[in-house]
Structure formats: structure tokens, C-alpha cells
Amino acid sequence: MISLGVSKTGLVRQRNEDRFYAKGPLLIVADGMGGYTGGEYASTMVVDTIVDVIERADIITVEVLREAILEANRMVFEKSQSYKELEGMGTTAVVAYVKEDTLLWAHVGDSRLYIYGDSQLRRMTNDHSMVQELVNAGTITEAEVIHHPKRNMLTRAIGVYDTVEVDTGMVEVHKGERILLCSDGLSGYIEESRIEEILSEESSESRVLEDLVQLVYDAGARDNVTIILGRI
């Protein structure tokens, strides 16, 4: 698999609290929260911890991905309890690992994982957010999420408590399919139909990333944006 990643500071942010990792079969996006210091620290710690746990594993399974996130959660929580300036910090994380013809994934928060193939964009993860619960309850529609005033409120994040529930899954992937991971700096402001359109129009991974980032900036870039795009 080949992969590229990009992370840009939004137009109203002074610093970027997002972090990403894209090397070989492993892809990670983390979106930090809890102030400039805390959010940046949490997302960096989580990415580093997940990479370390996975690199030390003999065999990669979804349980290994889950344990990597749980270990990262423990480390962030303990650090936040030890330093006043880091109190309340946390982060999202979405992790994908391509193992032969299978994609293994794990996630917490509202960063997302998509697969694009056969001209269709499929979301693999379910946001842990207030607005997603409203969608699940039928109170609002998916189209209303982007403009909802509570779209940034998470119901689950890494490092906030001493443990966290981790969603995991696996799905068969095929040659030529694209794997997209992103922070809500993309998915929270650009509709999935528009993302799908860009992917269908552009064969170059670098151009897709450029076009998606430009869409975010055209929309005002009120948040930092991080995107990884890989091709099987």
C-alpha cells in the first residue's frame, strides 16, 4: 500500500493539535483537545504509543489495535492527573492496519475511516459524538450534522477517563481501493458526497489531498484538518 498524509492549521487556530502517522501498512490520525498544550501533548503521545505497541507485536490483530489504544489512554490519563496544565486533555484516534487483503481498524472519537472503491465512499467508523447520537435517534439527519451547533461535542475520547471503550472492526479490501482517514476538520465541514466526488475525479493521491484541503479552506477552515489517503 502507498499512502500520503497532510495536516494543516486552520484559519482561526494558532497551533495544530492534530497528529498523523502513515508508514507501510499502518495509518493513524489523532485530533487533540484540551487547550494548545494539552491537545498537542495528548495526540502526540497517543500516536507514539500506538506505533510502539504495534511495532512490538508479533502478530497484528484487531485486539492488538484495541490494546494499543487502551495503553495510550492509560498513559494520557495518568499524565493529565500528574500535571495541572495538562488537566482535561484528550484526543480522538482512528487506526487502520492493512494485512494482506484485510483492513483492521480501531477508533475512539469523531476522526473517521473511509474506504473508496467502485465509485463509492463507505464510512467504516461511527462517530462518538453528540450529533451522531441525535442522528441514530432520528432527531436530525446526516445532512444537518455539518451545521449543527453541537457537532464538536464528543461522547468518547482517549485520556479523559482511566479507561475507554474502543470500537474495532475488519473488512476485506481489494487492489486499487483507497483508504481515507481524517480528522473532523474535513468531515465536520465538507459533505461526504463532495469528498466522494473529488476521489472519483482525481487519480493522483497528492492532488486529492490538495483539493480536499482547499475545500476546507474555502469553507473557512475553522478547525485544523488532517487527512491520510492510501491506495491498496
pLDDT tens digits, residue range 183-222? 999 999 999 999 999 999 999 999 999 999 999 999 998 8
CA distance 229 to 232: 10
CB 17 within 8 A of CB 34: no
Class of residue 100 by CB neighbours under 10 A (exposed 0-12, middle 13-18, buried 19+) = exposed
Dihedral, 170, 231, 187, 71 alpha carbons, nearest 10:
50
Q: Across all residues in the chain, what is the average pLDDT? A: 93
CB 109 within 8 A of CB 152: no
CA distance 186 to 223: 9
Q: Where are the domains of the chain?
A: 2-231
Q: Is the pLDDT of residue 147 over 80?
A: no
CATH superfamily, region 2-231: PPM-type phosphatase domain (3.60.40.10)
For the ranges 11-25, 146-160, 217-231, which has the lowest average pLDDT? 146-160
CB 3 within 8 A of CB 178: no
CA distance 165 to 106: 10
Q: Is the pLDDT of residue 59 over 90?
A: yes
Please indicate whether residue 152 or residue 219 has the higher confidence score (pLDDT): 219
Cell of 117: 472503491
Q: Is the pLDDT of residue 36 over 70?
A: no
pTM of the model: 0.95
What is the per-residue burial (b if ≥16 Cβ within 10 Å, else e) of 120-144?
Answer: ebeebbebbbbbbebbeeeebeeee
Res 102: pLDDT: 98
In DSSP terms, 181 is beta-bridged to 113, 228
Res 146: pLDDT: 75
CA distance 132 to 156: 12
CA distance 98 to 60: 10
